[in-house]
């Protein structure tokens, strides 16, 4: 069995700069967030006192992530309930409960991704858009099969009576194509 790798040591200086001793480079909270997401373990020490401040740095990362537009994972009611547990007799149980709940959630998330991959016969859930593209290609072929001149009519339609409707259809098709292209990215 391989010995678990030691966590990377990060030092936080009085000027609030974070120094990665593994890479001998200064890092940001965003860099540390990327490390967490990639599964890289680290500990943060105050450079002057040697105190382990990993918890407060991780909390800062969460605070920054929550501050970014549209990335709120912690509902307000959850935060209020969490604050209520401080000083409560149940306070000692909350950390273990939250940790176990998140571990269970992560396991279920992985099962969900695997099931989606099997259901759509696509390796990895991220490739779901490939199936969408294939479905659109099939739809477009079927559309031109039933209305073989529709493509030519839309492209060459005169701007006269009824032309406004065709222009509207052209815009809708163009907008749909842009949305599909975004999904495919």
**Averaged confidence pLDDT in the chain:** 78
pLDDT over 70, % of the chain: 68
Q: What is the average pLDDT across 19-28?
A: 95
Residues 164 and 108 in one domain: no
Our count of domains for the chain comes to 3
Query: Residues 2, 66: one domain?
Result: yes
Q: Is the pLDDT of residue 129 over 70?
A: no
Q: Average of pLDDT values for 129-145?
A: 56
Same domain, 50 and 18: yes
- Residues 1, 57 within the same domain: yes
Other beta carbons within 10 angstroms of residue 32's beta carbon come to: 23
Domain end marker among 44, 73, 102: 73
Q: What is the 3 state secondary structure string of 2-55?
A: CCCCCCEEEEECCCCCEEECCCCEEECHHHHHHHHHCCCCEEEEECCCCCECHH
pLDDT at position 178 over 80: no
Asked if 114 and 149 sit in the same domain, the reply is no
pLDDT of res. 90: 83
Q: Under 8 Å CB-to-CB from 17, ≥6 apart: which residues?
A: 26
**Residue 44: CB atoms within 10 Å:** 24
Last residue in a domain, options 73, 105, 135: 73
Average pLDDT rounded to a whole number, residues 110-132:
65
Instruction: Kindly report which listed range (90-99, 145-154, 173-182) carries the lowest average pLDDT score.
Output: 145-154
Is residue 67 domain-shared with residue 83, that is, in the same domain?
A: no
pLDDT at residue 24 above 90?
yes
Please check whether residues 58 and 91 belong to one and the same domain.
no
Identify the residue with better confidence: 127 or 48.
48
Write down which residue in 98, 119, 140 finishes a domain: 119
Predicted pLDDT of residue 160: 44
What is the distance between the alpha carbons of residues 125 and 93, in angstroms, rounded to a whole number? Answer: 35
Instruction: Kindly report the backbone phi and psi dihedral angles of residue 118, in degrees, each rounded to the nearest multiple of 5, phi listed first.
Output: -70, -40
Same domain, 1 and 51: yes
- One domain, residues 143 and 180: yes
pLDDT at residue 84 is higher than 70: yes
What pLDDT does residue 184 have?
A: 63
Segment 77-99 mean pLDDT:
89
The answer for residues whose C-beta is within 8 angstroms of residue 144's C-beta and 6 or more apart is 150, 151
The fraction of the chain above a pLDDT of 90, given in percent, is: 32
- Provide the pLDDT for residue 80: 92
Give pLDDT tens digits for 61-70: 999 988 887 7
Please give the backbone phi and psi of residue 165, each rounded to the nearest 5 degrees, phi first. Answer: -65, -40
Domain that holds residue 156: 125-184
* Mean pLDDT, residues 121-130 taken together: 55
| Residue 42 pLDDT > 70 | yes
Same domain, 151 and 178: yes
Indicate whether 109 and 61 sit together in one domain.
no
* 136, 165: one domain: yes
């Amino acid at each position: 069995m391989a010995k678990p790798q030691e966590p990377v040591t990060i030092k936080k200086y009085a000027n609030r700069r974070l120094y990665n001793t593994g890479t001998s480079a200064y890092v940001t909270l965003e860099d540390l967030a990327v490390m967490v997401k990639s599964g890289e373990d680290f500990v943060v020490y105050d450079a002057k006192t040697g105190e382990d401040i990993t918890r407060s740095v991780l909390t800062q990362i969460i605070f920054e992530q929550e501050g970014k537009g549209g990335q709120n994972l912690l509902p307000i009611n959850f935060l209020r309930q969490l604050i209520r547990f401080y000083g409560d007799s149940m306070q000692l149980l909350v950390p273990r409960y939250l940790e176990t709940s998140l571990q269970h959630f992560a396991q279920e998330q992985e099962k969900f991704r695997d099931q989606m991959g099997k259901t759509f016969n696509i390796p990895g859930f991220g490739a779901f858009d490939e199936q969408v593209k294939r479905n659109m290609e099939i739809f477009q072929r079927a559309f031109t099969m039933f209305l073989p001149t529709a493509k030519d009519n839309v492209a060459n339609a005169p701007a006269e009576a009824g032309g406004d409707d065709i222009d509207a259809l052209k815009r809708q098709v163009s907008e749909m194509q842009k949305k599909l292209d975004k999904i495919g990215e």
